[in-house]
Amino acid sequence: MYRTAFLDIPPLTRAGGTVRLPGSKSISNRVLLLAALCDGETVIEDLLDSDDTRVMLDALVALGCGLQRLGPTTVRVRGLGGRLAVREARLFLGNAGTAMRPLTAALAVLTAQQGGRFELSGVPRMHERPIGDLVDALVELGARVQPLGQPGYPPLAVGGEPTSLRLDTPVRVRGDVSSQFLTALLLALPLAAAQRPITIEVLGELISKPYIEITLRLLERFGVTVQRAGWSRFVIPAGARYTTPGRIHVESDASSASYFIATGAIAATDAPVTIEGLGLASIQGDIRFVEAAQAMGAHIDGEANRLHVRRGAWPLRAIDLDCNHIPDAAMTLAVMALYADGPSTLRHIGSWRVKETDRIAAMATELRKFGASVEEGPDWLRVHPLPHDGSGWRAAAIHTYDDHRMAMCASLAAFNPARQPVRILDPQCVGKTFPDYFETLWTVTQADPARIPVLCIDGPTASGKGTLAAAVAERLGYHVLDSGALYRLVGLAAERAGIATDEAALADPAVVARLAALAERLPVRFGDGRIWLDGDDVTQAVRSEAAGMAASRVSALPAVRAALLALQRGFRRLPGLVADGRDMGTVVFPDAPLKVFLTASAATRAQRRYEQLISRGEPANIDSLLADLEARDARDRARAAAPLKPAEDALLLDNSALSVDETVQTVLSWWQRRQPFGD
């Protein structure tokens, strides 16, 4: 997951390949609660690992449920069997409506039966999301639920002394603000239906019905079959009792799939975009996004557990659609509409206003930043497309409002024909449902390599290039190329292969040929900040001064440099690269949009290297370090092949008197000034 302040997505051109998406949030949190309420153990497979499921899991642990992690996405839940294991707890539920609403109802019923007091709270936005209709229904039932802040909103206090619930008359709840209120009652009331049937009546027109279907399907898996008359009356049978299915599998998230379906529909493809773990028979309502995407022109083939998507009509066809059945995935249509052949209208999306943010206002504001004309009403949105020749499209920095779907939707604008980048502010908001969304996007999309940004940092040894490159890359979410390490690895591999690298040996063309062959097939692997050579961890070994000197010698050989060129250029991957070395700006990435030549006085550099070695517990002598460093500089500058020198368009930075932080800030501000997003 990108934890950066922003993430710049370069213009994307093509798409194709296979993705496996994380588990459905709606199913994950319902199944977790059901497993916690029933008797016995339930193993849940392919559970979503995200902010919303984490707060649910934490809450269940606080309530005394036994939870055992069997793998990254598999947990075993030992249920409470309808008995409260603790009588008091404070539950923090973040911004997870799928945790806040059902837990409120379940605890209201359990405390009415057994006594106890629980406080449920969340992030500030959760305290702005309505829950009053559910609270009213529970209070009318006789349960104790009180606001701890503004009436009608969390935080809430639930419970008190045991009390009898009024179950002989129907429980009434509004269905036109959020379907989660009805879901919450449907999940909670089987706990009170041992002796008598319980009827729930829905007031107003029920929105987001597919989410209620998920609830009913999962209740059935846990042994409770609810009878419904239309969408206004639901009866939980007398004697209802949760029983564990033993093992249950969570489908891939259909709402998350919408971004990849859209990718396949928008991008030119050689191969289709294939989505694993989800088929057309999914129990999730958002699977019907497929129909909407087809209406816009996408070619979609479905198998039992897989979807294949290709671009069909182009430009996409404009739509006018009632989106009540796909409230979350409909946001994706709003961005697809930018690529349509006329204005598209999304109707019946009033629930967007009370989601993670006011999504109608947010979507309108942000799409306008791309240059689009957008109209909005209380429960509708109309998006006018942008010209297909690219005119009118603007590069934009997209505010995401702590809303995962705003971030994921906005990424689709990176396919714009104007080839403008898109900046996503606060990209880590995707952690709510899809922490690795952007990393997954890179696996099925391509950009013109020349448009993938590279920031080059060249300069003499110990000037701080590596330190600066790592810090800048971390701030931008970019990859790092430590090109010096590649030359060091050649030196190390030569030593292991018994190939001498002293000046005399390097005068022999046969030795040079062997070194070039070694460099061509360097058995190196980078990962988790470590370097492996032929399976051995050489992270520390490559940093030795001896390895640096050997690197300086072998790097003077044009054949070795040529052998490493393709490997280095291969580091230019989405979303961008910071490359450190001697010839990054002059030879390897001559088209880089920013080149920095970093220097410091020899005395300063020798002192830094001395302190670096001492801090690593390695012996060091400042005079010999200074002599070695000057010798290395001289050789690196004097060699004929790619000598150490600033590129003509490089910015020079002498950081002798600058701290690491000041150096990083200087370079980031230069970078920022070259971006099209403004300050």
Ligand X SMILES: Nc1ncnc2c1ncn2[C@@H]1O[C@H](COP(=O)(O)OP(=O)(O)OP(=O)(O)O)[C@@H](O)[C@H]1O
Ligand Y SMILES: Nc1ccn([C@H]2C[C@H](O)[C@@H](COP(=O)(O)O)O2)c(=O)n1
Question: Which residues sit at the interface with ligand Y, rule CB under 6 A?
Answer: 461, 483-485, 487-488, 548, 551-552, 555, 581-584, 632, 636
Q: What 3-state DSSP class applies to 12?
A: coil
Joined together, the tokens standing for residue 416 give: 């714009």
Q: Which is nearer to ligand Y, 414 or 485 (CB)?
A: 485
Which one, 259 or 610, has the nearer CB to ligand X?
610
Q: Would you state the torsion angle of the CA atoms of residues 602, 608, 614, 620, taken in this order, to the nearest 10 degrees?
A: 0
Least CB distance to ligand X at residue 596 (A) = 12
| Smallest distance from ligand X to CB 354, Å | 49
Give the span between the Cα atoms of 438 and 166, in whole angstroms: 49
The binding track of 501-540 with respect to ligand X, each residue x by CB under 6 A or -, is ----------------------------------------
Comparison of 99 and 650: residue with beta carbon closer to ligand Y: 650
Pairing of the two strands 227-229 and 88-92: unpaired
581 binds, among ligand X, ligand Y, none (CB under 5 to 8 A by kind): ligand Y
Residue 328 annotated in active site = yes
Q: How far is the CB of 607 from ligand X (least distance, A)?
A: 9
Least Å distance, CB 211 to ligand Y, is: 55
660 binds, among ligand Y, ligand X, none (CB under 5 to 8 A by kind): ligand X
Q: If you compute the radius of gyration of the chain from its CA atoms, what whole number of angstroms results?
A: 30
**Residue 209 marked as a ligand binder:** no
**Which entry of ligand Y, ligand X, none binds 483, CB below 5 to 8 A by partner kind?**
ligand Y
Residue bearing tokens 């729930």: 200
**Residue 325 Cα distances to 317, 414, 473, angstroms:** 20, 27, 42
Flag whether 462 is marked binding. yes
Q: Are strands 536-537 and 530-533 parallel, antiparallel or unpaired?
A: antiparallel
Q: Binding residue per annotation — 252?
A: no
- Give the nearest distance from C-beta 449 to ligand Y in angstroms: 19
Decide whether 181 or 610 has the Cβ nearer to ligand X. 610
Contacts of 202 (CB under 8 A, 6+ apart): 172, 173, 174, 175, 182, 231, 232, 233, 234
Find the residue with minimal CB distance to ligand Y.
Answer: 484
Chain center to CA of 15? 18
Number of H helices, E strands in the chain: 21, 32
DSSP string across 305-346: TEEEEE--SSSBPP-EEE-TT-TTTHHHHHHHGGGBSS-EEE
Q: Where on the phi/psi map is residue 306: left (φ > 0), alpha (ψ -120 to 50), or beta?
A: beta
Contact 298, 15 (CB under 8 A): no
Contacts by residues 318-322 (CB-CB < 8 Å, ≥ 24 positions apart): 318/342, 318/343, 318/344, 318/385, 319/292, 319/295, 319/344, 319/345, 320/344, 320/345, 320/347, 321/292, 321/295, 321/345, 321/346, 321/347, 322/347, 322/348
Instruction: Name every residue whose Cβ is closer than 8 Å to that of residue 527 and which is 6 or more positions away in sequence.
Output: none
Of the candidate residues 461, 483, 586, 599, the single one contacting ligand X (CB under 6 A): 461
- 24 annotated as ligand-binding: no
56-64, 549-557, 635-643, 658-666 -> range binding ligand X (CB under 6 A): 658-666
Find residue 525's DSSP bridge partners.
532
Nearer to ligand Y, 63 or 531 (CB): 531
Q: Which does 612 bind (CB under 5 to 8 A by kind): ligand Y, ligand X, none?
A: ligand X
Q: Which of 8, 286, 328, 426 is catalytic?
A: 328
- Using the rule CB under 6 A, which residue among 102, 608, 610, 647 binds ligand X? 608
* Residue 637 CB, nearest approach to ligand X (Å): 14
What are the backbone angles phi and psi of residue 455, rounded to the nearest 5°? -110, 115
599 annotated among ligand-binding-site residues:
no
Residue nearest to ligand X (CB): 464
Q: Is the Cβ of residue 323 or residue 578 nearer to ligand X in the bound state?
A: 578
Tell me if 369 is assigned to a ligand binding site: no
Is 466 labelled as part of a ligand binding site? Answer: yes
Range 637-656, binding ligand X (CB under 6 A): 655
Indicate which single residue of 637, 660, 673, 674 sits in contact with ligand X (rule: CB under 6 A).
660
30 is in an annotated binding site: yes
Sign of CA dihedral 14, 20, 25, 30: positive
**What, of ligand X, ligand Y, none, does residue 555 touch, CB below 5 to 8 Å by kind?**
ligand Y
- The answer to the question of residue 659 lying near ligand X (CB under 6 A) is yes
Cα–Cα distance measured from residue 425 to residue 398, given in angstroms and rounded to the nearest whole number = 6
How crowded is residue 620: how many other Cβ atoms within 10 Å of its Cβ? 16
Tell me how crowded residue 621 is: count the other CB atoms within 10 A of its CB.
11
Q: Is 24 helix (H, G, I), strand (E, B) or coil?
A: coil
Q: Burial level of 194, CB count in 10 A (0-12/13-18/19+)?
A: exposed
Is residue 467 a contact point for ligand X (CB under 6 A)? yes
Nearer to ligand X, 264 or 548 (CB): 548
Binding partner selected for residue 582 from ligand Y, ligand X, none, CB under the kind-specific 5 to 8 Å limit: ligand Y
665 scored as a contact of ligand X (CB under 6 A): no
**Rounded CA gap, 413 and 410, in Å?**
6
87 belongs to an annotated ligand binding site: no
Under rule CB under 6 A, how many of the chain's residues touch ligand X?
17
Query: Which residues does the annotation place in the binding site for 3-phosphoshikimate?
Result: 25-26, 30, 178-180, 208, 328, 355
Instruction: Give the interface with ligand X as residue ranges (CB under 6 A).
Output: 461-467, 484, 548, 608-609, 612, 655, 658-660, 663
**Residue numbers belonging to the annotated binding site:** 25-26, 30, 97, 129, 178-180, 208, 328, 355, 359, 405, 432, 459-467
Instruction: Report the binding-site residues for phosphoenolpyruvate.
Output: 25, 97, 129, 180, 359, 405, 432
Active site residues: 328
